[in-house]
Amino acid sequence: MLGRLFSMIIGILPQHAISRVVHGLARWRWRPWKNLLIRAFTRAYTVNLNEAASPERSNFESFNAFFTRALAPGAREIATGTHSIVSPVDGEISEFGSIKAGRVIQAKGQDYTTIDLLGGDPRIAQRFANGAFATLYLSPSDYHRVHMPIAGELEQMLHIPGRLFGVSKPLVAHVPRLFARNERVVSLFETAAGPLAVILVGAIGVGSIETVWAGEITPPRGRRIRTWSYPQDPPDFAIGEEMGRFNLGSTVILLWGPETIYWNNNLAVGQPIRMGSAIGQHSGSVPIESDSISD
pLDDT in tens, 32-87: 888 898 888 888 887 888 888 988 888 888 888 888 899 999 999 999 888 999 99
The verdict on 55 and 101 lying in the same domain is no
Question: Who's near 234: CB < 8 A, 6+ residues apart?
Answer: 153, 154, 155
Whether 57 and 92 map to the same domain: the answer is no
250 within a domain of the structure (yes/no):
yes
pTM for the structure as a whole = 0.86
Residues 135 and 226 in one domain: yes
* Residue 170 falls inside a structural domain: yes
DSSP letter at 59 equals G
41, 8: one domain? yes
Among the three residues 67, 97, 118, which one is the final residue of a domain in this structure? 67
132 with 46, same domain?
A: no
Q: Is residue 56 part of a domain?
A: yes
Coil, helix or strand for 15?
helix
Res 288: pLDDT: 34
Q: Give residue-wise pLDDT tens across range 184-201.
A: 999 999 999 999 999 999
Asked whether residue 125 falls in the same domain as residue 28, the answer is: no
Q: Are residues 182 and 246 in the same domain?
A: yes
Same domain for 152 and 238, yes or no, is yes
Q: Within a domain: residue 76?
A: no
- For 49, which DSSP code? G
**Other beta carbons less than 10 A from residue 62's beta carbon:** 19
In a domain, 72, yes or no: no
Cβ(68)–Cβ(144) below 8 Å: yes
Residue 114 within any structural domain of the chain: yes
Gap between the Cα atoms of 292 and 264, Å rounded: 7
Give the N- to C-terminal CA distance of the chain in Å, as an integer. 36
Same domain, 43 and 117: no
Q: How far is it, in rounded angstroms, from Cα 31 to Cα 216?
A: 24
8 A C-beta contact, residue 109 and residue 171 = no
pLDDT at position 286 is: 36
Could you say which residues of the chain have pLDDT below 50? 6-7, 14, 285-295
Query: Residue 79: inside a domain, yes or no?
Result: no
| Residues labelled as active-site residues | 90, 147, 250
Query: Pick from 159, 295, 138, 283: which is nearest to 205 by CA?
Result: 138
**Are residues 114 and 236 part of one domain?**
yes
Same domain, 209 and 270: yes
Domain end position, chosen among 18, 33, 67: 67
Domain boundary at 67, 92, 112, which? 67
* 15 within a domain of the structure (yes/no): yes
What range defines the domain where residue 18 resides? 2-67
Distance, CA of 74 to CA of 237 (rounded, Å): 19
Same domain, 60 and 128: no
